[in-house]
Chains A and B, each alone.
Chain A
Amino acid sequence: MQFTNIQSILQKELAIEFRQKFAVGGVFLFSATVVFLLYKTFNNISPREWVLLLWIIMLFTGLQAVVKSFLQEKQETWMYYYSLFDATSLLVAKLLYNLLFLIIVFLFTVLCLAIFSGFPVRDITLFSVGSGMGLLGLSVIFTFVSVMAASERASSILMSVLSLPLTLPVLLLLIKVTTVSTGLLADTAVYDDVVLLAGINSILLGSTFLLFPYVWRS
């Protein structure tokens, strides 16, 4: 694992992202459209629905965003990577890139929701810590699954079939933590849930690092 390698992969990803603006634009447009659609149908969104909608939008936009990053690579590109880097640096770079992308999409979605239907969060620290943990978990799962789904014919279907059940534990905890942060539920033990979330994240992260070198070679 070398930091220069990680850096160069990250730079390359960002460069591609800026060259192919339609893909990024598509993700943001998707999120904005869904928010607007929900705003028009619900008219008045209660805090509980707000949290739920936020994470459902995040789930699907995140899925789209990450699918793109691994699936756009051609078979030849993989071979090229394989000759250049070891698996861990590639994984770290992809993971960081996906996390960064998810965070940006998340901020954008929160902004859209806030403009259209208010910002019900009371406890900003809890909200940001919880969401950060959750986004990390989602990006780990999406990255790992997209490696497996890559270079298959029905890869985007496979991607959602594999990753949606895996994200459920993270998502359930996440919705609970963020609901508490809106002040709807009073839960003194909410930081236990945050710790649990961190625990799940570290397990997932550890197993991804262990398994990635095996799964990647194809």
Chain B
Amino acid sequence: MRCFILAALLIATPAFAANEAGKYQSVLGDCEGCHGRNLAGGVALATPFGKLVTPNITPDVATGIGTWSQEDFRKAMKQGMGKGGKPLYPAMPYVNYALMPDADVAALWTYIRTVKPVRNSVDVNQLKFPFNLRFLMRGWNLLFFKPAPFANDASKNAAWNRGEYLVEGPAHCGACHSPRNFFGADKGGLSGASLQGWWAPDLTGDGRAGLGAWSNDELVQYLQTGRNAHSLASGPMAEAVENSTSRMTDSDLNAIAVYLKDLPPGPGNGGGATGAEAQMQAGARIYQVSCAACHGGDGKGSAIFPPLAGNPIVTQSSPETLARVVLAGAKGAATVKSPTGPAMPSFAWRWNDEQVAAVLTYIRNNWRNVAPAVSADTVTKIRTSLHSAS
């Protein structure tokens, strides 16, 4: 009966400490986010080039990386080369991991060797022709991958530099939040991007769409708990919070906040809705009937429901996440410090595309929010893509 209690009384040994250090590297890199809670892979990633399924990285000999050496692992992490010189697809963020010091990669390797081997055979490459040809990645690397060790900016303080290292390196924030070029390469800038049917929001200092209105503490609170006075993480960010940022140390979270808060404003969201009076009126009626009960007549939300007034996810240049949340519903992040994880139900059944467009235009331009109107065509496209994805 007491076995569970005993399990908690682990004795701190040097091996234990090294393993914990490696485990923390896996938190920083959010390995679980793509490879699953047990790291056995099998998680499908929808890319613009087709479907990639994440590989099994447990030490299973037959289906995982049980036959790999430490050097094989280092090359995968930092050079994008799998065992035997097989080029990895850059969905594996080796472009970011290349900034990691070898010692941290070694610690991570130590930890990965200790996780439970899981037999799970994964068909990784389900991309469309010609993207299924791995050797093409050699050319991609030549064009877009310029590995270099992380260099401190002497004009900035230690927290800022640690923050830049985390954001651009292991935490690979840009993998979701930075716009991509035609070849899927990160253009940098963290000004928001579309992926997997979600819009990863602008993290720049922009006052409407970005984090300009957030304090450092509020940003730390968001990353630690999944929510703050402005917003509530859902979708892929809820997973990133649950698996990664909520488990980071306070000083690392503070460093991320210091760095992100120093980013200059990005291109912005394109300004307010003009000539949308009819949508605004229709949206106001829908809002009162179907949204105000939880989000409040004043758009301020409550201890459980996120606000819409001043919530940057509402005023992104793209309404993709917003429309998705309304049509398909979404579950908020649930963390130790904020365990509720409230969920938004699907309203796909209740509202047609014109109505969704109207209410989104309304919440994007009511209270003091300012963002472009949403057209019914845009909602139709998102609804269609949600249908084909499910």
A and B from one assembly?
no
Taking beta carbons and an 8 Å cutoff, which residues of B are in contact with A? none
